[in-house]
Amino acid sequence: MRVLITGGAGFIGSHLADLYVAKGDHVTILDNFSTGSKENIAHLSGKITTQDGDIRNVDLVEKLTKEADLVLHMAAALGVNTILESPLESMSTNITGSEVVLNAAAKFNKRIIIASTSEIYGKNPKQPLSEGDDRVVGAPQKIRWTYSDAKAIEEAMATALHTQSKLPVTTVRLFNTVGPRQTGRYGMVVPRFVQAALKNEALTIYGDGTQSRVFCHVNDAVTAIATIAATDAIIGEVFNVGGSGEVSIKALAEKVIATTESQSLITYTSYSDAYPAGFEDIQRRVPDISKIKHSIGWAPTKNLEAIIKDIAGI
């Protein structure tokens, strides 16, 4: 099988490339290396085809899509810092770029999986969050919500193309996904904490640390994506993909320090000091993963301690 992975030099995309190469499939990566890196895929040199390019390049995306049997659309602008610092470029990639990729898949009638996000649900206080739950987001002028809005538009385009043109698309809403190769540069909390702990530097919590998340190991997430991609019965559906075991950010920091046997201390800083204007945090975000469990029998396998050890390389 020939698999096209947009954003394949990124964190999740490169793990997907590993999975499909291991299965003996031919993988082509399309990436502009904005947040992705050559190091993420260096070990696959000679085993994959790499195309340095942008998902907004219609001719290039159509050419690569035509050659593929399966498209995994992972390319996006993400990370709180990226979204707040480059809002227009981020919206362009996430809206226009996704439209180009979806239209190409529709034109050549290719199976496609799109990576959406738990950010879709915004600040909906209902927990755990199920696929049919409402989006509750702030005003458009609060720029952090543009990532959620863009992904919602992408999902809506996918649904419309499925309805109107029978596009064989399935949407995965990834909750906090973590593991090796994820960079802390763009505001992701787990790599940021682990890197600080390994250097015995302070772990800085933004806010009071009572906000909570559920983390999923990237190996579990890519298994979910590949299983979904191989299951035609769930074309047109939307699935939460997330871990189990809610943890506060304060408890996460303590767990990282204990697991890495670090001398680090925990410090606190306000959101206004940590982020540019326009940031608003979400207090809790817990996935309801019963739909994917029942549909394809997937469940996360790695707990938080295993995840931290894997990221720390210990």
Ligand X SMILES: NC(=O)c1ccc[n+]([C@@H]2O[C@H](COP(=O)([O-])OP(=O)(O)OC[C@H]3O[C@@H](n4cnc5c(N)ncnc54)[C@H](O)[C@@H]3O)[C@@H](O)[C@H]2O)c1
Query: For the residues of 14-78, what is the DSSP string, one character each?
Result: HHHHHHHHHTT-EEEEEE--SS--HHHHGGGTTTEEEEE--TT-HHHHHHHHHH-SEEEE-----
| C-beta closer to ligand X: residue 32 or 259 | 32
Q: Which stretch binds ligand X (CB under 6 A): 6-14, 225-233, 290-298, 299-307?
A: 6-14
The number of angstroms, rounded, from the C-alpha of 224 to the middle of its chain's C-alpha atoms is: 13
Site string for ligand X, 141-180 (x = CB under 6 A): ---------------------------------x-xx---
**Is 9 an interacting residue with respect to ligand X (CB under 6 A)?**
yes
Query: Within 175-204, which residues bind ligand X (CB under 6 A)?
Result: 176-177
Q: Could you say which of 4, 5, 11, 143 contacts ligand X (CB under 6 A)? A: 11
Residue 268: active-site member: no
Amino acid sitting at position 230: A
Judged by CB under 6 A, does residue 115 bind ligand X? yes
Distance CA(125)–CA(136), nearest Å, equals 9
From candidates 4, 5, 12, 308, binder to ligand X by CB under 6 A: 12
Amino acid at 311: I
Helix or strand run (H / E) with residue 170:
strand 169-174
Helices (H) and strands (E) counted in the chain, each on its own, are: 13, 13
- Answer yes or no whether residue 35 interacts with ligand X by CB under 6 A: yes
Query: Which stretch, 69-77, 100-108, 158-166, 189-197, contacts ligand X (CB under 6 A)?
Result: 69-77
Amino acid at 273: D
Out of 5, 20, 27, 34, name the contact with ligand X by CB under 6 A: 34
Residue 157, token pair as written in the block = 């385009």
Footprint (CB under 6 A) of ligand X, residues 73-102: 74-78, 93, 97
- Choosing from 20, 121, 147, 275, the catalytic residue is 147
- For residue 191, what are its two tokens? 């790599």
CB of 205 to ligand X, least distance (A): 19
Integer Cα distance of 220 and 175 in angstroms? 12
# chain residues binding ligand X, by CB under 6 A = 28
Cβ of 258: how many Cβ atoms within 10 Å?
A: 12
Residues annotated as part of the active site? 147
Residues that bind ligand X in the complex, under the rule CB under 6 A = 7, 9-13, 30-36, 54-56, 74-78, 93, 97, 115, 117, 174, 176-177
